[in-house]
Each structure stands twice: as C-alpha cells, then as structure tokens.
Amino acid sequence: MSRIQIYGALTSLLSEMDARYKKAKEGYEFDFETEISPFLNTNKELVYHIEEIETDGRFDPVTRQKVVEEFLELLMSCHAGRFSKKLYKEKFKFINMWIQHAYREGHIT
C-alpha cells in the first residue's frame, strides 16, 4: 500500500470514528459482536501501517508507536458514549496531526 493510499484510508477511518463517536454520544448502543468487533478487525491492520511511514526526525519510531497506540485506543473508545469528549478530541487531534505530517513528509519503508 502506498503512502497516499494509507493516508486516504486513515483519514477515512478518522471520519468514520468521529461519526461513530457522535452516534454513541447521542445514546446509540453499538453491538460488540456485529458492529464493534468487525470494525476493530477490519481496521487494526490499517493502523499498523503507520509504523511503516518514515518522515523527518520528529516522527521517530517512538512517536509512530505512540500514534498507533492512541489510534487503537480510539478504535474501541469511539463506540462508548461515556468516553470523555475532551480526551477523545485531544487524542483525535494528536493522531490527525501526525497523519497529516506523514502525508506531507513521509515515505513507506
């Protein structure tokens, strides 16, 4: 998968996560077996592609790993309406910032 394809897929995933979080905040209860588990299984591998993107020294292996960890946490948390909106937005912004950086500066190893 190219860097551009990964970027497109990750930004689409961020949009879908945001939509799911808004739905959960409005009171929708996601079913784990039919909605959450397939979503996680489908998207975990995509998130791990972040580890293959290298940019300048700011997006070092430790930072890439942190982005992956935060992304994986939000993959699950976006289904819980009780998850703090402030924390959700902070994590979302952090992930989005590094995805944008990887798109501008990165290449696949």
The structure's pTM equals 0.89
Specify the pLDDT at position 102: 86
CATH number of the domain within which 73 lies:
1.20.120.440
**Residue matched to tokens 């912004």:** 93
Specify the pLDDT at position 108: 61
Residue 80 has pLDDT above 90, yes or no: yes
The CA-atom distances, in angstroms, between 28 and each of 19, 21, 75, 85 are 12, 9, 16, 16
Q: How many domains does the chain have?
A: 1
**Secondary structure element (H or E) that encloses residue 108, with its range:** strand 107-108
Q: Render pLDDT for 2-56 as a digit per residue (tens, 0 to 9).
A: 778 888 999 999 999 999 999 999 999 999 999 999 999 999 999 999 988 888 8
74 and 88 Cβ atoms separated by less than 8 Å:
yes
Specify the pLDDT at position 42: 93
Q: Quick count: other Cβ atoms within 10 Å of Cβ 9?
A: 15
Q: Which domain holds residue 19?
A: 3-108
